[in-house]
Amino acid sequence: MVSTVLQGFSSGIWSVIFYLYLKLGEVGFRDDFIGNMFTVSALATGFVALPAGLIIERLGTKKAMIISVTANLINIVQIIVLQSSILLLASLVAGLIGTIGWVASAPFMTENSTREERTYLFSISWATMIVMGILGNLAGGFMPSIFNSYLGSASGTVSAFGYRLALLISMVLALVAAIPLLLMKQAKRKERTMSEILNFKNIKSSKIMLKLALPVGLIGFGAGFIVPLLNLFFAGKFAATTEEIGILNALSNVTLVVGTLSAPVMSRKLGKVKAIALCEFLSMPFIMLMTLSPVLPLAGFAFITRNALMNMAGPVSGTFQMEMVTETERATTNGLLVTADNIPRAITASVSGGMMASGDYFTPFLATTCSYLFASSLFYLFFRNAESQKPASQASNVS
């Protein structure tokens, strides 16, 4: 949880200002290039996630998460070396290394918790990350102008130096997050040889894994159109300032914290599948309200509400996914899901970047809504009766 606090604050700063930093006149990159940067990183994540899951089965989740923290060192290159080819390469490498920890986190929490406490553990972890993200969003929104004013930049001048300093602080916090990870204990696990893993001998629930992956892939396809570029959307359509975007991100995460903490109660009353599907369906009207809104406050309200509804069931979904497969399949399954999410997301982010660069702020939101509707419907059809059956993980030795 200490590591989560540090990583949450760091990512909160980075997510608000990094793309805005690249778009500064002094730096000079356009929306379409920024979309391509996200595409490269997401493609790297997508293609390496499944192999990463196999490697983690051999390596162990603790070592995998520590390795992934080193990806933050590459962010120095993204801050300082402002050449398009170098930025794309750095995004690729950061995506490759960072994916290992992403894939390892859910299996680690699952193998270190009981079935009864697992949904609460996932929710608390998410909520902690979100709360620190809120503080990071607020800090990130104001840090560049504060640093620039102390360093003597003229009033009203947007200087890249303040942005660089804020991003460097974010990177250092992420690296410090490795210290608590080093102190963690790895749960005892059955050793498997690399040949067993590469031969997929641990896979016993292939049909379930594919059914989990298809809706996730469709969600990723839809999310890529808008989610990576929402800050640029607000800046481009409504001329929102960095401070305003930071506040919007912070407020959206405040509501998400409340939703995330209430998700275990909702899933207990409705069941995990119904809770996940309901949250996703309710979020869809607010996606279209964002782009149809004529003013920033209404678009901001829609953004805040959509973010909370679409993501509040995330911990429940993560728990459900891990419980639907056996212990030996969890890292592989999570790798498959990360792949299914990121490759479509990468493709559509690049397409959407070109649309927004040309001033089209409607088509990406419509595409997202349609994809979400199809994905949520499929998920419910696939798993509406799953909780009345014995989950695969109950057949394995879960601590």
Q: What is the CATH number of domain 2-183+205-394?
A: 1.20.1250.20
pTM for the model: 0.69
pLDDT score recorded for residue 292: 95
pLDDT in tens, 287-297: 999 999 999 99
pLDDT per position as a tens digit, 217-257: 999 999 999 988 898 899 889 999 888 888 888 888 788 88
pLDDT of residue 247: 86
The CA-atom distances, in angstroms, between 266 and each of 208, 269, 309, 350 are 24, 5, 13, 36
Q: What is the mean pLDDT of the chain?
A: 82
Q: What percent of the chain has pLDDT over 70?
A: 91
Highest mean pLDDT among 56-65, 246-255, 298-307: 298-307
Q: In this predicted structure, what is the pLDDT of residue 371?
A: 95
- Is a pLDDT exceeding 80 seen at residue 298? yes
Q: 58, 192 in Cβ contact below 8 A?
A: yes
147 vs 153, residue with greater confidence: 147
CB count in 10 Å sphere of residue 179:
12
Residue 120 has pLDDT above 90, yes or no: no
* Cα–Cα–Cα angle for 262, 263, 265, rounded to 5 degrees: 70
Q: What is the pLDDT of residue 160?
A: 83
Q: Which distant-in-sequence residues (6+ apart) come within 8 Å of 207 by Cβ?
A: none
Q: Which of 115, 114, 166, 175 is nearest to 144 (CA)?
A: 166
List alpha helices for the chain, DSSP H.
2-23, 31-59, 61-69, 75-80, 84-111, 115-150, 160-176, 178-183, 194-198, 206-226, 230-238, 242-270, 272-292, 296-311, 314-323, 330-357, 363-383
Place of tokens 């390795």: 67
